[in-house]
Chains A and B, each alone.
Chain A
Amino acid sequence: GHPWCRGCGGEALIYVKLISSDGHEFIVKREHVLTSETIKTMLSGPGHFAENKTNEVNFREIPSHVLSKVCMYFTYKIQYTNSSKEIPEFPIAPEIPLELLMAVNFLDC
């Protein structure tokens, strides 16, 4: 079984693993990654059993410095959606927006 998920054998898994092109693994809450329409579709494949790889997604074209930013956005989105708090700016350093945009275009988020 997977130590990082609750229940293997049919129950909904709380965490999913996103793997970047350079082999970094990001363990993110399932609820968060559903922000991406693409990932949502990929994960809702047949069967939710631990044996199937629907709890893991390999991104062969997205490097870790981009994927980490995407995960940060998931957190930002969940935190500030339907909240009455003032929404702060989401910072994007000038070196990455183009690469990030390519990934985001694929991920649809």
Chain B
Amino acid sequence: MEAGEEPLLLAELKPGRPHQFDWKSSCETWSVAFSPDGSWFAWSQGHCIVKLIPWPLEEQFIPKGFEAKSRSSKNETKGRGSPKEKTLDCGQIVWGLAFSPWPSPPSKKLWARHHPQVPDVSCLILATGLNDGQIKIWEVQTGLLLLNLSGHQDVVRDLSFTPSGSLILVSASRDKTLRIWDLNKHGKQIQVLSGHLQWVYCCSISPDCSMLCSAAGEKSVFLWSMRSYTLIRKLEGHQSSVVSCDFSPDSALLVTASYDTNVIMWDPYTGERLRSLHHTQLNPPMDDSDVHISSLRSVCFSPEGLYLATVADDRLLRIWALELKTPIAYAPMTNGLCCTFFPHGGVIATGTRDGHVQFWTAPRVLSSLKHLCRKALRSFLTTYQVLALPIPKKMKEFLTYRTF
């Protein structure tokens, strides 16, 4: 797909027969996630069930006649030893999901007993944030429950693992706190972060693992240090609850999405607002009745750092290019709640209120060498370090993403 073409629906997953307890309010897909290596997809399909699905998807999920270009021809991995779908019954509503690589499977002996050839799959764990404040940690290859983390007093809405694989987990809860857990020490709770006055909706750790962003049912966005677990600064700018946040792959940018219909892009090192992305309606309303329907639900960066995807209440998935003020593409989606990019690009997954998950084509772009250099540099240089370099002003502007 070229930039500017509308996202195409690649596949849709719908839950099977509903669970016995058919509560209207428990069928949502609050979160979707791909594992960092792109080999698994976690689908929180409502009614307390999470399905772990190997990626790429099997034939049955792809609509007939569709050439799923993003699927690589890995047919040789199907059959004996190939990973199969896993069902995790979490026992209560699942809100947050996060994957992490896991150094070596604790149940390796158990695995070897049932599968003579230990499959060549990466070791992964999935953390699930539940309704009553518990966090369950599962081993992806086997679907076994590894750990139960207790501490939160209310819904664990979002989870984030350190991208380095150091097994530090951050959780965000309706109990207004964030908590830090060390999975190297059997899930010991090492810190409680207080400060938010309302339900915390989201948390995100920067790819360089130095910063943590959290946002809640209030206007201020919090930025914490992942080294000292203390508050660095509050980011002011939104006019309503902030529900989603994400860092760029080089940690140089932070985006936050709010019910105020805006996404704000920030420099997390200086706290400066770089731009606002306004979610205006495609067709202007005839009367005032549609005024509030562009509330944002989710925002995420593409893996090469050149695009954003947003899900809003006005039934649109929007794709934005980093340097432009208006979206480059739209796709209709009803009741959207969350979105995430496939880690190697090309696909966006979205989740909805009725437990459905959709996969869309995303712009596949080859980064310019200029952007690749910027990404490489910003992965270890802060904004202040860039400004101190002996380079021309225009180069500094480019490196600090101020060339809009």
Contact = CB atoms under 8 A, between A and B. Distances in A.
A94 B375 CA distance: 11
B369 to A, nearest CB: 5
B377 A98 contact: yes
B223 to A, nearest CB: 25
Contact of B369 (A70, A81, A98): A70
Interface in A18-77: 70, 73, 76-77
A4 interface: no
A76 B364 CA distance: 15
Contacts of B346: 86
Interface in B364-392: 364, 366-370, 372-374, 376-377, 380, 389, 391
Interface residues of B, number: 23
Contacts of B389: 98
B84 interface: no
B344 interface: yes
A81 B364 CA distance: 9
A46 B307 CA distance: 40
A109 to B, nearest CB: 5
Contacts of A73: 369, 372
Contact of B373 (A85, A100, A108): A100
Nearest to A36: B369
A77 B69 contact: no
Contacts of A81: 366
B72 A86 contact: yes
A86 B70 contact: yes
B69 A97 contact: no
A101 B396 CA distance: 11
B69 A84 contact: yes
B395 interface: yes
A105 B367 contact: no
Contacts of A98: 373, 377, 389, 391
Contact of B370 (A77, A80, A85, A101): A101
Interface in B89-106: none
23 contacts: A70-B369, A73-B369, A73-B372, A76-B366, A86-B344, A86-B345, A87-B344, A92-B373, A92-B376, A94-B380, A97-B376, A97-B377, A98-B391, A100-B373, A101-B370, A101-B373, A101-B377, A104-B369, A105-B370, A105-B398, A109-B368, A109-B369, A109-B370
Contacts, number: 54
B contact face: mostly helix, strand, loop, or mixed: loop
A10 B336 CA distance: 60
Nearest to A98: B377
Interface of A: 70, 73, 76-77, 80-81, 84-87, 90, 92, 94, 97-98, 100-102, 104-105, 108-109
Given A80-B366, A86-B344, A109-B368, A104 B373 contact: yes
Given A86-B344, A86-B346, A97-B377, A104 B370 contact: yes
A30 B70 CA distance: 31
Contacts of B398: 105
A15 to B, nearest CB: 21
Interface in B335-357: 344-346
Contacts of B391: 98, 102
A77 B374 CA distance: 17
Interface in B279-304: none
Ranked nearest first, the 7 interchain pairs of A and B with the lowest CB-CB distance are A101-B373, A97-B376, A92-B376, A84-B69, A73-B369, A97-B377, A97-B373
B368 A94 contact: no
